[in-house]
């Protein structure tokens, strides 16, 4: 088992997994820009239909992107495990996102045999101040843990 290094899933393999198993992510236009050991950079391209009253990007888009990015960060450590699922997601909205692509910087903080915990910072592209901070936990299926995909 590698301690650090390259991601255990490639960008291409992650894109394929999403197209086959999570087609809603494709419908939303979510994209994985970069993936590394325990981290991922994702984006939701700006779409006019994601604006809610008040001229801001809808919260469900932001939360969905954060979940997508955290999933990528988890799979970067355990490999392609489609049944790794979100068990909790906490979102703190910090400021109004401007109408632009939203970037999600995900980082895995803890990976155990059955659970993974991480954080995601969401930013409007071109801005330095975050629009939201998200923490989340993923459940890792026993079959993945038994195969040695996760570490304690």
Q: Can you give the residue range of the structural domain that contains 78?
A: 11-146
Q: How many CB atoms lie within 10 A of CB 81?
A: 23
Q: How far is CA 9 from the centre of its chain?
A: 14
Say which residue, 19 or 149, is predicted with more confidence: 19
The CATH number of residue 131's host domain is: 3.10.129.10
On whether residue 6 sits in a domain, the answer given is no
Q: Is 135 exposed, middle or buried (0-12, 13-18, 19+ CB in 10 A)?
A: middle
Predicted TM-score (pTM) of the model is 0.92
On whether residue 99 sits in a domain, the answer given is yes
Report the alpha-carbon distance of residue 127 to residue 12 in Å, rounded: 28
On whether residue 5 sits in a domain, the answer given is no
Could you tell me what percent of the chain has a pLDDT over 90?
Answer: 87
Q: How many structural domains compose the chain?
A: 1
State phi, psi for 84 to the nearest 5 degrees. Answer: -70, 125
């Amino acid at each position: 088992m590698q301690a650090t290094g390259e991601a255990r899933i490639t960008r291409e393999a992650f894109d394929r997994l999403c197209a086959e198993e999570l087609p809603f992510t494709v419908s939303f236009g979510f994209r994985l820009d970069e993936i590394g050991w325990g981290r991922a950079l994702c984006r939701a391209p700006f779409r006019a239909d994601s604006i809610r009253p008040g001229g801001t990007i809808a919260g469900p888009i932001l939360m969905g992107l954060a979940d997508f990015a955290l999933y990528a960060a988890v799979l970067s450590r355990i490999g392609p495990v489609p049944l790794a699922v979100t068990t909790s997601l906490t979102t703190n909205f910090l400021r109004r996102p401007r109408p632009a692509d939203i970037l999600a910087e995900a980082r895995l903080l803890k990976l155990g045999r059955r659970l993974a915990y991480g954080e995601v910072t969401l930013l409007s592209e071109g801005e330095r101040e975050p629009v939201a901070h998200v923490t989340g936990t993923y459940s890792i299926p026993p079959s993945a843990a038994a195969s040695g995909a996760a570490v304690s």
